[in-house]
Structure 1
Amino acid sequence: MTSLESWQESTGLSSRPLERALQFKRQLLEHVLEHSLELIMVTDANSIIQRVNAAFTHITGYSAEEALGQTPRLVQSARHSPDFYRQMRMQLQDSGSWSGQIWNRRKSGEVYLQWLTINTLTDDDGEITHRVAIGHDLTAIAGPKRERMLFTFKDPLTQLGNRQLLTSRLEQALAEAERNQIEVGLMVLDIGRLRPVNEQLGLTWGDDVLRQQARTLQAAVDEADTLVRLQGDQFAVLRHSRAQNTAMAQLADKLLGLLAQPIVLADQNVVSLQPSIGIANYPRDAAESTGLLQAAEHAHAMAKRDGRNRFQFVDQREHVLHHRELLIEQGLYHILNTGTGEGLSLHYQPQVCPDTGTIRALEALLRWQHPQLGAISPGEFIPVAEKNGLSVRLDRWVIEQVCAQVAQWQYHYSRLPVVSVNLSAQQFGQADFSDWLQACVNEAGITANRLKLEVTETTMMEHKDSCVAMLKRLRRQGFCISLDDFGTGYSAMSCLHRYPLDELKIDRSFMVEACHNTRAFVLLKTIASLAQQLSLSLVVEGVEQASQLALLRDFGPLTVQGYYFYRPLSVTDMTALLADRQP
């Protein structure tokens, strides 16, 4: 007797449900394809059109019979350079997809703007079998949606590309350059001193100048170049070929001459501008798009700094330093905005009475282990913080950490030296600082006399009035005030009586000089005598050897700070030292 399975197999009934499911899917796909409002075109691996839908015929005017067997060149316009299509092919090869705005042509000859998305289909072995293009006719889209799509890559004022277009093209250009081992050139330029035009003639005329200069640039660059407006009066030129130094210099010289020509406005005003150009090269100046743009922008800034009406290639040494400064700046922003303190830590260096070895104070010193740059000296990152307006926030972060640490030590130990913190000059422009500081110590549960505030001589002299007023408030609140780095700035001894000081701190350079220079030694001793007469405590920095300590033997009461006694100690080591010195 034949089994049920054998009977089903012989009659073919077992495969009918699967066939019906496949047939349903084909019918569903066919329905979606034919009723879609979006143009759909399917090509094989050789870019031969295999299938189009009804929307394709409606939008382009070409019937299926006219399109099948052709290539997508059937609908190409003359609006794009060969480089545009070459970059499209490169991106398809690299990522399997491409999307963006493109000008295509209908059968009638009308050129229309389309948003096109192309995806690649592969078989089980990863071989390309088909590509599917889906297009939106932007001329048929009304309202805000169309406006957003139209301006995705276009600057509305000049009708050039924008920064987003440059970013897209730059990625494609560098991918091609890497494959073909060729160079890519990038210029960043400004037309020069547009602000006076805006201020004196008005923004309308300023916009007119921008449009005229944009047309000048468009006529001057090669068709294969990518020209965009970055922002304001800044433009960029991406050169995919002939990017060697000589060719880039020739183009830059040509652009400088054209952009510097006087411009006659409609109201007969004549405007003369002073353009500047920065030039970067891949792979010499950077290995990726963001770095290349930063390099060109920095070279542009150097050209402006050095007098305008000139072009500047990337100075590798300056560029490396500039890039390092950017990393430091970005790292500080991240730390201060997230509040994590990532990589930042405090060390403490004792200030010692040389006669007894007693620790009289601790100076809090900031250290930073950058995730990319490694250990960075405060002498490098603090000036960056000051330059970028971050020093106030950095100071306050340090003070908060110090207050919390002092509170912790105070809880465990009965004898605790005062802890000093350094204040930046910008802190004296903050009207709320004294109130904030008082609130900070109150919240930590410590008193004001636990902190010593170090202010440099230069800061005091540059901010005389505001500095004196704030220091008087802080001193009334109970904080100790120390004049740091004395002798390195103005050395205005006659003004010392004006400042509410408790301590003078002599810079380490005096100690170094005093070892082999009699005059420096006499000056050091004179400062020590002056401090005593003004009833100021004295701290001498930079004591690293027994011979240096011996020089200070007859100076009277003072405190020393330096490697001879202690290097800066981590919190763990400082805690152990404090514990060891408890009664």
Structure 2
Amino acid sequence: MVTTADGTIERVNKAFSDITGYSAEEAIGNRPSLVQSSRHGQSFYAAMWQQLNETGSWSGKVWNRRKSGEVYLQWLTINTLKDEQGTVTHHVAIGRDLTNQRSVRDEPSLFTFKDPLTQLGNRQLFTSRLDQALAEAERNHIRIALMVVDIGRFRQINEQLGLAWGDDILRQQARILQAAVDEADTLVRLQGDMFAIIRHSRAQDAAMAHLADKLLGLMSQPIVLADNNVVSLQPSIGIAVYPRDSEDNAGLLQAAEHAHAMAKRAGRNRFQFVDLRQHDLHHRELNIEHSLHHILNHTDGEGLSLHYQPQVRPVDGKIMAMEALIRWQHPKLGFVSPAEFIPIAEQSGLSVCLDRWVIEQVCLQVAKWHQLPTLVPVVSVNLSAPQFSEPDFVEWLQACIKRCGITPECIKLEVTETTMMAHTDNCIAMLGQLRELGFKISLDDFGTGYSALAFLHQFPLDELKIDRTFMVEASQSRRAHLLLKTIVSLAQELSLNLVVEGVEQQEQLDSLADFGPLTVQGYFYYRPMPASEVVALLR
């Protein structure tokens, strides 16, 4: 059968008519669904087209239907034809009727790609798909990942509960794996309790680490059997990546099995990369992510704390404001830098919770300071980009300051230039609303992203904050110094307060002497300090 790219039959041969009962006239202009049976679900055909689109070919056994209504088994190979520009023009399908082959009726065919116990693919399918995946990866210069998984304690389960229960647990674990992997992945049972997953795309280490961690969590859940026995498994996972760990199928499988053996030796219920450095890095990232999730949702921020760095008016040394900066003392990892855990919070969807924890702690602290017989400056907090996708943020913030007994004028909200430009409409609308309520708005890290001078007049701002890298460049380059002076003049023309970060030396401070009224933040005056030290400073 020859079809167009969109699946319209253009040509069939005599063998097609002999096998199906449809004449060429009946078939041409129709679609291949003409001969489909109802024995395969949509997922079967979706997987077929997925592989066909990715590799250009597909082979396997298919149950089709003759014109008479009889269902027959066919070995089918489909290949894609492309023109010189690489555009798909046709699909060519070659089929062989297997109905009368005794091997098909009486014993598993050499072409069978399905594991009879779990209904997943078997080792033959694995070998075929891995060959295709590596060929595709070599052509397109992409990464392929191979994951070897075992459920753990399988021998003990068979010995204690019997083979029937062991088979049932294998089927359950196969269903868990099948539900967890992507549709584009190849999942097979290699042997015994060993499974393999080929990831044909999105095979970056971080994505594989997340998948492995997810599978460990799902597979290690206690299983309640029909007789109320509870079985707990201890899965292990090894991960190898093409071309980093090997450039051929045998070597890649050997590397994944080696990583799997390392995971088992390390105590089970864990995953292991072949690359130990990457392995340690991603284990640390997952540890940080899990710990953040736990302390934000279950311990009210245990281990997290806030430091405050004053912003000073150089002419008289007066503290005009303070920036709240988060710190984390992890119980096992020790001090974890915000530069490390904040990006992980953003990637894992925890940044909104982290922002709100910081804001609430700041509001509570400001309320305590207001009980002192001294003037408390405004305190600034940083907002992450995902906060602007939260429709309840304005209402939440209003409720927070009301609950703490302070006013909006006590809080300054800092938004990075990159966030502002990437979410312009949402930012302008939300920040405009917050500014009308009395909150101060500061554009943070100016000079590191778009440096969108032309857009400054559109943003609802009270303050422009020059990033420390800009200050460093200005102290080393006359051109950068002139540009900084221009930005200062523009901010003053727009009636914006100006904060210059990263002032650490007298020379840097002196270079700002003729810039007019501004505020500086940096180690020259104060390092970030805990709230207890702020009290003494304010007094």
Could you tell me the TM-score, scaled by structure 1's length?
Answer: 0.54
Task: Give a deviation string over 1:329-385, Cα, whole Å, max 9, x none.
Answer: 011011011133111000000000001000000100000001111111111100000
Whether 1:227 and 2:194 are equivalent positions in the alignment is yes
Amino acid at match of 1:288: G
SS in 1 for 2:380: strand
Task: Give a deviation string over 1:133-154, Cα, whole Å, max 9, x none.
Answer: xxxxx98xxxxxxxxx566632
1:543 to partner: Cα distance: 0.5
Amino acid at match of 1:435: E
* 8 Å contact kept, 1:515–1:548: yes
- Equivalent position of 1:80 in the other structure: none
Task: Give a deviation string over 1:225-279, Cα, whole Å, max 9, x none.
Answer: 751478999999x999xxxx9xxx899824989xxxxxxxxxxxxxxxxxx9685
Whether 1:155 and 2:171 are equivalent positions in the alignment is yes
Could you say if the C-alpha distance between residues 158 and 519 of structure 1 is closer, same or farther in structure 2, counting changes exceeding 3 Å? closer
1:158 to partner: Cα distance: 5.9
**Structure 1 CA distance, aligned partners of 2:298 and 2:412?**
28
- Equivalent position of 1:288 in the other structure: 267
* 8 Å contact kept, 2:501–2:521: yes
Amino acid at match of 2:474: A
**Structure 1 CA distance, aligned partners of 2:331 and 2:173?**
42
1:315 to partner: Cα distance: 1.7
**Structure 1 CA distance, aligned partners of 2:472 and 2:173?**
62
* 8 Å contact kept, 1:285–1:316: no
**Structure 2 CA distance, aligned partners of 1:465 and 1:478?**
20
- Equivalent position of 1:511 in the other structure: 471
Whether 1:195 and 2:183 are equivalent positions in the alignment is yes
- Equivalent position of 2:328 in the other structure: 368
1:290 to partner: Cα distance: 3.2
- Equivalent position of 1:330 in the other structure: 290
* 8 Å contact kept, 1:362–1:419: yes
**Structure 2 CA distance, aligned partners of 1:463 and 1:509?**
24
The structure 2 residue matched to 1:553, chosen from 488, 513, 529, is 513
* 8 Å contact kept, 2:235–2:268: no
1:413 to partner: Cα distance: 3.1
SS in 2 for 1:154: helix
Task: Give a deviation string over 1:200-249, Cα, whole Å, max 9, x none.
Answer: xxxxxxxxx96xx43xx33xxxxxx751478999999x999xxxx9xxx8
Task: Give a deviation string over 1:452-488, Cα, whole Å, max 9, x none.
Answer: 0000000000001011000000001100000000010
Task: Give a deviation string over 1:525-573, Cα, whole Å, max 9, x none.
Answer: 1111110000000000000111110000000000000000000011111
SS in 2 for 1:543: coil
1:284 to partner: Cα distance: 9.0
- Equivalent position of 1:42 in the other structure: none
1:394 to partner: Cα distance: 0.3
Pairing of 1:271-286 with structure 2 (within 5 A): 280=259, 282-283=261-262
- Equivalent position of 1:526 in the other structure: 486
SS in 1 for 2:335: strand
How many residue pairs get matched? 351
Pairing of 1:244-283 with structure 2 (within 5 A): 253-254=249-250, 280=259, 282-283=261-262
* 8 Å contact kept, 1:226–1:239: no
Whether 1:571 and 2:537 are equivalent positions in the alignment is no
**Structure 1 CA distance, aligned partners of 2:380 and 2:512?**
23
1:390 to partner: Cα distance: 0.2
1:419 to partner: Cα distance: 0.3
Unmatched tracts of structure 2, length 5 or more: 1-152, 201-210, 216-233
**Structure 2 CA distance, aligned partners of 1:387 and 1:278?**
30
The structure 1 residue matched to 2:449, chosen from 489, 507, 514, is 489
* 8 Å contact kept, 2:378–2:409: yes
Whether 1:389 and 2:385 are equivalent positions in the alignment is no
**Structure 1 CA distance, aligned partners of 2:264 and 2:343?**
26
**Structure 2 CA distance, aligned partners of 1:510 and 1:286?**
50
Unmatched tracts of structure 1, length 5 or more: 1-90, 92-97, 103-113, 117-137, 140-148, 164-189, 198-208, 219-224, 258-275, 300-313
SS in 2 for 1:495: helix
Could you say if the C-alpha distance between residues 279 and 498 of structure 1 is closer, same or farther in structure 2, counting changes exceeding 3 Å? farther
- Equivalent position of 2:51 in the other structure: none
**Structure 2 CA distance, aligned partners of 1:315 and 1:285?**
16
- Equivalent position of 1:539 in the other structure: 499
Amino acid at match of 1:115: L
Could you tell me the TM-score, scaled by structure 2's length?
Answer: 0.59
Whether 1:468 and 2:428 are equivalent positions in the alignment is yes
- Equivalent position of 1:443 in the other structure: 403
